[in-house]
């Protein structure tokens, strides 16, 4: 049996259901007398919806978190134009924009970034780069950064029912894909500013 634990939330995985039931009974009837609830078949974990697909795969999604982000950013689904198919913040890459216009909205910038960061790390890696760009300016966000965050929100507005799809393939082992962008912002930014020549790297690691 495999046991996945995050603080006080656990997932029990076994090929034999009897093994799981025996373990649960040992917790209930043991000297420690653990107090817990059995949530049954796995369909949600830490706010992540888990649905099985007809082809044997499964999908992880977080529609409720996305709804909270949309509400925080004060995006009206009836009035807001989406950006389906466009996951980029903007090019050129975002800068400090020291002389830029101040923000217009009252929602908390760092709260939005925290929620987007959790979402991108759990079920929506497509917004990772865009979220990372916006997170760099938590200390002093300008109007340009606010607009970039709202653009991510508009993308999520169009795709809130989407998620990360897994289809296990036992013929595959460990795979790692890596790429790097050496001094990628230099041609867009201030050539005398060290922040304009930062290199960026990203990676995807998969098993089966």
Report the alpha-carbon distance of residue 177 to residue 158 in Å, rounded. 28
Residue-level pLDDT at 38: 84
Residue-level pLDDT at 97: 86
Residue-level pLDDT at 189: 63
- Triad 201, 108, 71: Cα angle to 5°: 95
Residue in 63, 107, 91, 88 with CA at minimum distance from that of residue 155: 88
Report the alpha-carbon distance of residue 189 to residue 169 in Å, rounded. 43
Beta strands in the chain (DSSP E): 2-6, 9-13, 44-45, 48-52, 58-61, 164-166, 174-181, 200-207
Residue-level pLDDT at 27: 85
Helix-then-strand count for the chain, H and E: 5, 8
Tens digit of pLDDT for each residue in 190-207? 667 776 677 778 888 999
Contact 192/114 with Cβ under 8 angstroms? Answer: no
Specify burial of residue 41 (Cβ count, 10 A radius: 0-12, 13-18, 19+).
exposed
Residue-level pLDDT at 205: 93
Domain segments of the chain as ranges:
1-42, 61-166, 174-207
Residue-level pLDDT at 81: 67
Query: Which residues in the chain land under pLDDT 70?
Result: 79-92, 185, 187-191, 195-196
Residue-level pLDDT at 91: 52
Residue-level pLDDT at 89: 43
Tens digit of pLDDT for each residue in 41-62? 888 888 899 999 998 899 999 9
Report the alpha-carbon distance of residue 150 to residue 94 in Å, rounded. 14
Contact 11/4 with Cβ under 8 angstroms? Answer: yes
Residue-level pLDDT at 45: 85
């Amino acid at each position: 049996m495999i046991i996945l634990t995050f603080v006080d939330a656990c997932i029990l995985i076994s090929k034999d259901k009897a093994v799981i039931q025996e373990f649960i009974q040992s917790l209930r009837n043991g000297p420690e007398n653990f107090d817990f609830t059995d949530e049954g078949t796995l369909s949600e974990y830490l706010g992540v919806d888990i649905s099985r697909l007809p082809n044997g795969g499964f999908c992880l999604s977080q529609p409720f978190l996305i709804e909270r982000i949309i509400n925080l950013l004060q995006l009206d689904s009836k009035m807001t134009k989406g950006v389906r198919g466009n996951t980029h913040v903007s090019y050129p890459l975002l800068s400090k924009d020291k002389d830029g216009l101040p923000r217009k909205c009252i929602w908390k910038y760092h709260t939005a970034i925290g929620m987007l960061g959790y979402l991108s790390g759990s079920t929506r890696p497509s917004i990772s780069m865009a979220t990372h760009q916006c997170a760099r300016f938590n200390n002093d966000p300008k109007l340009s950064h606010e607009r970039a965050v709202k653009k991510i929100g508009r993308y999520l507005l169009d795709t809130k029912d989407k998620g990360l799809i897994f289809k296990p393939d036992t013929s595959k082992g460990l795979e790692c894909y890596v790429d790097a962008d050496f001094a990628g912002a230099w041609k867009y930014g201030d050539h005398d500013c060290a922040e304009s020549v930062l290199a960026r790297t990203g990676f995807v690691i998969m098993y089966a």
